[in-house]
Structure 1
Amino acid sequence: MSHLAVAGLQLDLQAGDNLDRISDEVAAAKRRLSWVDLIVLGELAAYGPSVAYAQEPGGPAETRLRAVARDNRVWLVGGSIFERVGDQVFNTCPVIDPTGEVVLKYRKIYPFRPYEAGVAGGSECMTFDIPKIGRVGVSICYDMWFPETSRTLAWMGAEAIVHPGLTNTIDRDVELSIARASAAQNQCYFVDVNLAGQLGNGRSAVYGPGGEVIYQAGSGRDVIAAELDLGYVRRVRERGWHGLGQVLKSFRDGPSTYPPYREGAVSAPLTALGPLEKPGANLDRAGGADAPASSPRPSQYDKKEG
């Protein structure tokens, strides 16, 4: 058997403790859709985008999510939580099996800098295996803007990528094009689950290994349930989508190291871009008389996007 039944929960959440709501929504989804194997939450669904909610590993949020997975006998990709390890905070996605055991914790490699301030980046792409079904990769929001992350997951054998996100900004449409391209480029399913309500603008989506649109949600609460045929992924990778490009084979057989990734490589054009920092207002740069005397009060996460 190689079918993976997934439900992405696009929840209309608020900043603050959402764990009771998440528990109820997962239970309701599993009751209604008993055939679902894996449930995916949006990024930072548990509390929203404030690092003030950062917890130690094994803290209350992780404990509660483990109980939710165990009580409903379902694989759970728990969105993400801010996790404090020593003097660092990571944006961490726990993946929990139906017995309530944490099988991996993926740390977002690319925090949304300069807005996701005070959050350290992880360093390792991660996958997990669902016995007798297949291999799944994990990515968080801004990670997918860097194609190396999705390609590495495919290189590791991921046949589906689950991607919790938190976006409420004008670039959501661009993100959907990236998600769809990531599916086609890596010949895999791509399950992109955003938040709705006060935190996100929704439009979660599922794409197939040819880049085909399986489902795109609207902006409100939605439960996106789909059965992913991982055998189809394997056939597409072997033969090409409808007999067309065998992308991963060509990548395998092509140049092993591109110039940007060679040891010691330096790009003068990229160096010339300057530091990674928040852009200033045009009036501030021009020194205009109407420039504000002080910076506006930032939101919890400024752009509130992964």
Structure 2
Amino acid sequence: MAKLGIAAIQVDAEATDNVDLIERETRAVTRRFPWVDLVVFGELAAYGASPKHAEPEGGAFERRMAALARETGTYLIPGSFYQEREGRIFNVSPVFDPQGEIIARHDKFFPFLPYEKDVACGQDYCVFEIPGIGRLGLAICYDMWFPEAMRTLAAMGAEVIVLPTMTNTVDRDVELAIARANAATNQCFFIDVNCAGALGNGRSAYFGPGGEPIYESGEGRDVVALRLDLKQVRDAREEGWQGLGQVMKSFRDTPLRYPLHENAEARAKAMSDLGPLAVPQSDAGAEGAPETEAKIFKVHQEQ
């Protein structure tokens, strides 16, 4: 049986520099649970939500995380951080192996527009192998709101989808429903790791291949160590969860086409009446209006 030992760490983070905290938490959890194969943190856990902290590829943060993975002998996804490449900034989540090598990187597909401004969209799907255990897919936060992207990871063989998240807004409850639906519709484990403290409102959540809840964190610091039996995924895809729908096989076998998914121009034309992607404005006018979510996010970015 292939079992993945995963430690999801919902850090009680500060608004800016949490790299020392990531190192301490990783060392502590790997000492306590030597069976852990993979340690995961939330989105932007290292430096917070400001692109001004962007580093170059192979910069200080990635070097420190490479050393940490070697020291602890684990696979490590240290959340995400802003990285500058060829004059553009990406929200990036790297994957380190126990030798400290980067074996995969995911650039966030869908920056949280219109709030996460000036961040480029990723283009490549991130699926990687842990030898002897199985195949994992990696996405970041808002990516999960787009079922086409999650389905693609599953179709590429991902048995576990890992989602570093940084949510501090009122839609966290909705996100939990989406995470659960992604687990059920893709017949996989879905691991949604949020931040706590100054960066997030917690409630990290973990679902099995039938959408069954495994665990949900509270709003503060939490260290969740789980052993996921990937045979459950293989059985669900082969026989259906509880002997019911074999969803992935039906998706594979249908002759149905998805023309708006395949053609970006056709999609833009069909949905043109939605209007521009812009920050909503107060109906009361600018002067004396309540602080909008856009302003709140801007404060986080400038810290």
Please say whether Structure 1 and Structure 2 have the same fold, judged by a TM-score greater than 0.5.
yes
Distance 1:258 1:298 in 2: 38
Q: In the alignment, which residue of structure 2 is the partner of 1:270? A: 271
Is the CA contact 2:11–2:196 (under 8 Å) kept in the aligned structure 1? yes
Distance 2:105 2:299 in 1: 25
Q: In the alignment, which residue of structure 1 is the partner of 2:282? A: 281
Relative to structure 1, the CA distance from residue 213 to residue 23 in structure 2 (aligned partners, 3 Å threshold; closer, same or farther) is same
The letter for the 1-side match of 2:282 is A
Q: In the alignment, which residue of structure 2 is the partner of 1:127? A: 127
Q: In the alignment, which residue of structure 1 is the partner of 2:244? A: 244
> What TM-score do you get using the length of structure 2 for normalisation?
0.94
Relative to structure 1, the CA distance from residue 97 to residue 297 in structure 2 (aligned partners, 3 Å threshold; closer, same or farther) is closer
Q: Does 1:298 align with 2:295?
A: yes
Relative to structure 1, the CA distance from residue 6 to residue 301 in structure 2 (aligned partners, 3 Å threshold; closer, same or farther) is farther
Q: Identity of aligned pairs, percent? A: 52
Q: In the alignment, which residue of structure 1 is the partner of 2:146? A: 146
Distance 1:161 1:118 in 2: 26
Q: In the alignment, which residue of structure 2 is the partner of 1:224? A: 224
Is the CA contact 2:261–2:267 (under 8 Å) kept in the aligned structure 1? no
Map 1:12-161 → 2, pairs under 5 A: 12-161=12-161
Q: In the alignment, which residue of structure 1 is the partner of 2:162? A: 162
Please provide the CA RMSD for this pair. 1.9
Render the CA deviation track for 1:226-277: whole Å, top value 9, x for unaligned: 1111111101100000100000001111134213224342466621111101
Relative to structure 1, the CA distance from residue 16 to residue 194 in structure 2 (aligned partners, 3 Å threshold; closer, same or farther) is same
Relative to structure 1, the CA distance from residue 15 to residue 257 in structure 2 (aligned partners, 3 Å threshold; closer, same or farther) is same
C-alpha deviation, 1:112, in angstroms: 0.2
C-alpha deviation, 1:203, in angstroms: 0.2
Is the CA contact 1:6–1:39 (under 8 Å) kept in the aligned structure 2? yes
Distance 1:211 1:45 in 2: 27
The letter for the 2-side match of 1:235 is D
Structure 1 stretches of 5 or more lacking a match? none
Distance 2:241 2:299 in 1: 40
Structure 2 stretches of 5 or more lacking a match? none
Say which SS state the counterpart of residue 56 (structure 2) adopts: coil
Distance 1:296 1:164 in 2: 21
Relative to structure 1, the CA distance from residue 282 to residue 7 in structure 2 (aligned partners, 3 Å threshold; closer, same or farther) is same
Distance 2:233 2:267 in 1: 37
Relative to structure 1, the CA distance from residue 282 to residue 222 in structure 2 (aligned partners, 3 Å threshold; closer, same or farther) is same
